């Protein structure tokens, strides 16, 4: 069983928003308190694309094919994981937390895991593959506590 000891950070994120929570009490009766939020402005891809997709000549005469355009919306989501990993590294390097629980959808967890510095990765005590960013803090607290007790 992973315990939410006092001071443990719980970061609840998706690909556009991260909630930072800290356990104020002990593992017996965790009390998660919200202390920060990071969001990313990420309009739909159609609003970010500047031009029509490019075209290239095919082998035959007068034949042209469309080239796939960059998905700017998806690219911004991946960059958010990298930015969050950098924020966590800076906080860990300053000694802001000793234990960390990550709560994110599976793809975001994978992107985040790949971007994390070893100093942060060593502090992770649990990862929960869930999407909870739009839940109230008391509901997040209950879900995280229940998940960690089941482990």
Q: Where are the domains of the chain?
A: 9-49+70-150
Average pLDDT for residues 52-79, to the nearest whole number?
65
Q: What percent of the chain has pLDDT over 70?
A: 77
Contact by Cβ (8 Å): 112, 119: no
CATH 3.40.50.720 applies to domain 9-49+70-150: no
**Is the pLDDT higher at 73 or at 7?**
7
d(CA 99, CA 88): 12
Question: What's the pLDDT tens digit per position in 87-103?
Answer: 999 999 999 999 999 99
Average pLDDT for residues 119-147, to the nearest whole number?
94
Q: What pLDDT shows up at residue 74? A: 72
Average pLDDT for residues 119-136, to the nearest whole number?
95
């Amino acid at each position: 069983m992973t315990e939410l000891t006092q001071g443990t950070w719980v970061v609840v994120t998706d690909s556009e928003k991260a909630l930072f929570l800290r356990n104020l009490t002990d593992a017996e009766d965790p009390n998660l308190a919200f202390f920060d939020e990071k969001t990313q402005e990420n309009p739909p891809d159609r609003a970010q694309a500047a031009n029509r997709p490019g075209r290239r000549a095919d082998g035959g005469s007068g034949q042209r094919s469309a080239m796939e355009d960059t998905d700017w919306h998806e690219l911004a989501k991946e960059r958010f994981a990298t930015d969050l990993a950098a924020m966590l590294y800076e906080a860990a390097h300053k000694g802001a937390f000793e234990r960390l629980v990550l709560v994110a959808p599976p793809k975001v967890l994978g992107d985040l895991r790949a971007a994390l510095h070893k100093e942060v990765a060593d502090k992770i005590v649990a990862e929960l593959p869930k999407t909870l960013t739009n839940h109230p803090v008391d509901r997040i607290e209950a879900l995280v506590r229940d998940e960690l007790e089941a482990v």
